[in-house]
């Protein structure tokens, strides 16, 4: 009887250990060239898509989702309305079921932005969360994943500085942290540092790896173990910026050289899926 009880206890512990191991968070950084699209999949299978690449990228993304049997996205987040982030959003909205969309609020006139709004208009059941200037929100799921989103602080950054309207996304799972910094240039990078600690294990490097006046400070504070840069042959990331990251001990991946990269977190450590 006693033996049976011990055996049962051991069995229970094995099951519990296996369950804990199964709790992995995955982030797929898709190779879209100099354009962003990243899919977060939480341990419970909640899917959060950040940006949709260009118009062409959106088609590739829809095709990839079809092949992988992904027909539902819980949350689509558009960091800002430049064509290399929102360009493929209409295609994604048309090809998979999206439950809610989170997007910044600022004036933008472009074909890609209009196409996104029209595609969104056509699906009234989607919940919309427009993020006004200076607003923030936190999403938390039962599996222990927390995503906090902050909007830009100012309503103007001058001409051609729409990158600074990028939403900042901080993802936490267990002890691991991810930061998705959109295309933040110096003013918005400063804001992100003011918003709180930007230290992270994984960083989606802001602004396609271009060097701006705040880059060194921003990267040093972030000090990621893994950094992913979305660049291209025509517009490669700054060598100086890559050197700064390497000097901090970061493993640096670029879409130009490494293509798509998937990162796994077990809540304690992060690793690149080989
Ligand atoms: Zn961009």
Q: Record the tokens describing residue 34, joined without a space.
A: 């100099």
**SS3 of residue 170 by DSSP:** strand
pLDDT at 128: 97
Distance 90 CA to ligand 1 centre (A): 17
* 244 φ, ψ (degrees, to nearest 5): -60, -45
Q: Report the candidate in 267, 268, 261 with the shortest Cα–Cα distance to residue 29.
A: 261
Q: Give me the residue label for tokens 């206890």.
A: 9
The structure's pTM equals 0.92
Q: Taking a C-beta distance cutoff of 8 angstroms, is the pair 149, 102 a contact? A: yes
Distance 22 CA to ligand 1 centre (A): 34
Distance 9 CA to ligand 1 centre (A): 53
Distance 179 CA to ligand 1 centre (A): 16
Distance 130 CA to ligand 1 centre (A): 20
pLDDT at 18: 47
pLDDT at 19: 45
Distance 259 CA to ligand 1 centre (A): 17
Q: Using the 8-state DSSP alphabet, how is residue 83 labeled?
A: H
DSSP characters for 39-78?
EEE-TT--EEEE---SHHHHHHHHHHHHHHT--EEEEEE-
In the chain, where the domains are located: 24-272
Cα–chain center distance at 239: 23
Distance 207 CA to ligand 1 centre (A): 6
pLDDT at 9: 57
> CATH code for 24-272?
3.60.15.10
Q: What stretches in the chain show pLDDT beneath 70?
A: 1-22, 160
Distance 29 CA to ligand 1 centre (A): 14
Q: Record the tokens describing residue 272, joined without a space.
A: 């690149």
Distance 243 CA to ligand 1 centre (A): 21
Distance 215 CA to ligand 1 centre (A): 16
Distance 34 CA to ligand 1 centre (A): 7
pLDDT at 197: 93
Distance 209 CA to ligand 1 centre (A): 10
pLDDT at 21: 47
pLDDT at 267: 97
Distance 138 CA to ligand 1 centre (A): 24
The secondary element (H helix, E strand) that includes residue 271 is strand 270-272
pLDDT at 161: 81
pLDDT at 1: 53
Q: Could you tell me how many residues make up the chain? A: 274
């Amino acid at each position: 009887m006693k033996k049976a009880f011990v055996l049962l206890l051991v069995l229970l512990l094995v099951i519990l250990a296996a369950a804990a191991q199964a709790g992995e968070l995955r982030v797929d950084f898709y190779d879209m060239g100099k354009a962003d699209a990243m899919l977060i999949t939480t341990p419970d299978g909640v899917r959060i898509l950040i940006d949709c690449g260009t118009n062409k990228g959106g088609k590739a993304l829809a095709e990839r989702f079809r092949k992988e049997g992904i027909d539902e996205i819980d949350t689509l987040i558009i960091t800002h309305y430049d064509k290399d982030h929102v360009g493929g959003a209409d295609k994604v909205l048309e090809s998979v079921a999206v439950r809610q969309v989170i997007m910044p609020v600022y004036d933008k006139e472009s074909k890609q932005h209009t196409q996104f709004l029209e595609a969104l208009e056509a699906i009234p059941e989607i919940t919309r969360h427009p993020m006004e200037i200076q607003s923030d929100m936190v999403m938390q799921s039962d599996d222990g994943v927390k995503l906090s989103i902050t909007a830009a602080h100012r309503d103007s950054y001058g001409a051609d500085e729409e990158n600074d309207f990028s939403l900042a996304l901080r993802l936490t799972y267990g002890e691991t942290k991810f930061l998705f910094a959109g295309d933040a240039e110096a003013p918005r990078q400063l804001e992100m540092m003011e918003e709180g600690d930007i230290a992270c294990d994984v960083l989606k490097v802001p602004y396609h790896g271009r060097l701006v006046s705040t880059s060194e400070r921003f990267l040093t504070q972030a000090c990621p173990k893994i950094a992913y840069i979305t660049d291209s042959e025509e517009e490669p990331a700054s060598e100086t910026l890559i050197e700064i990251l390497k000097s901090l001990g970061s493993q640096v991946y670029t879409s130009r050289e490494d293509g798509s990269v998937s990162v796994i977190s077990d809540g304690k450590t992060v690793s690149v899926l080989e």
